[in-house]
Amino acid sequence: GSKSLKNCCITWIMVCIALCVILLCQLLLRSQDQSAVIERSNNSLDMVEMSGFICGYVSCVFYLGSRFPQLYKNFQRKSTEGTSYLLFALAMMGNCTYGLSLVLKMPATKSFRALYFLHHLPWLLGSFGVLFLDVFVTLQFLLYRQRKERQSGLVALEVEPLLVSEEPA
């Protein structure tokens, strides 16, 4: 329950701090070593870029994973009560425009397009993947709202008295 959630949060914070320290050290080493820069081909990656990719994919996994607990909780309860649809709607709009901005910036030259796509893959997967999952959250809002409306109609009938006296008592 809450203890495992607390441990998960503490672990996540420690991983983030460690990644930030590693990236900061790499950036400092990179700036000090500018005089001894070795030319590299466009297809190879240096340590900072590789760290960026690793962070991108880790971010993608956590970002995609962030929707599953809400989807599962809604499914278990058969309700979206307490969940803000505006949050999901705005996130959908943000992910759609972000993903489209990456796609629209794609170079026209086919040789550069593949490299661009590969370099932006974790962010494309994250934005369009979460957009896809948010469609399921939207479907839950629609499905469970209709169920709530049907149930509220039944409840109203159950609380009405069976016998109604016509004369005031």
Residue 95: CB atoms within 10 A of its CB come to: 20
C-alpha distances in Å from residue 49, one per residue of 46, 53, 93: 5, 6, 29
Residue-by-residue pLDDT tens, the chain, 169 positions? 677 777 777 777 777 777 777 777 766 666 655 544 444 445 556 777 777 888 888 888 888 888 999 999 999 999 999 889 999 999 999 999 999 999 888 888 888 888 888 888 999 999 999 999 999 999 999 999 877 766 665 554 455 554 556 666 5
pTM beyond cutoff 0.85: no
